[in-house]
Amino acid sequence: MQAIIETLQDVRDNFSFGGTTSRSQYWGYFVSLSAISYFVKWLVSEPASNLAVWLILMAFVLSVACGWLLYIPLLLRRVRDAGFSVWWALSPFLMLALSRLIVLMGQALKVDTTAIVHASIIAIMALNLWVLIITLLPTRKSRVSVNSA
């Protein structure tokens, strides 16, 4: 029973934007979630033959979606622990939203938005690479707790 309580507390702590996240915690979660996501993508590409299989598949897809929701606070804690602003972690998403807005405005004005799309893709890839580098950096010394030494 104590193990179940500790597991539930760990899950609750994952939703927290406070605290710290080590590189091993971050990368362990990220690699596991990515592998499961690719597996789900493969499952979704296969045709489901009956309703029960389809419902199980949808439950699995929903659990992966929840897993990605848990990833966001984990990413923000890891970026902050490396000594950077959490805005760096959010910058690829903000760039995606901004570029989509510009493309929609361009389509409404009947303007060719090909160059904007290409520039946006390059900017988003560059920002994602920067976030990847940040998550690989060690935790700042001031963020390391006395008990972890």
Same domain, 74 and 8: yes
> How many structural domains does the chain have?
2
- Looking at residues 101-107, what average pLDDT do you find? 83
Same domain, 113 and 136: yes
Same domain, 15 and 60: yes
pLDDT at 147: 46
- Looking at residues 62-72, what average pLDDT do you find? 74
Predicted TM-score (pTM) of this structure: 0.60
Of 14, 61, 15, residue with least CA distance to 40: 61
Biggest CA pair distance of the chain: 62
Same domain, 35 and 68: yes
3-state secondary structure 29-55: HHHHHHHHHHHHHHHHHCCCCCHHHHH
Query: Which of 48, 66, 81 is the C-terminal boundary of a domain?
Result: 81
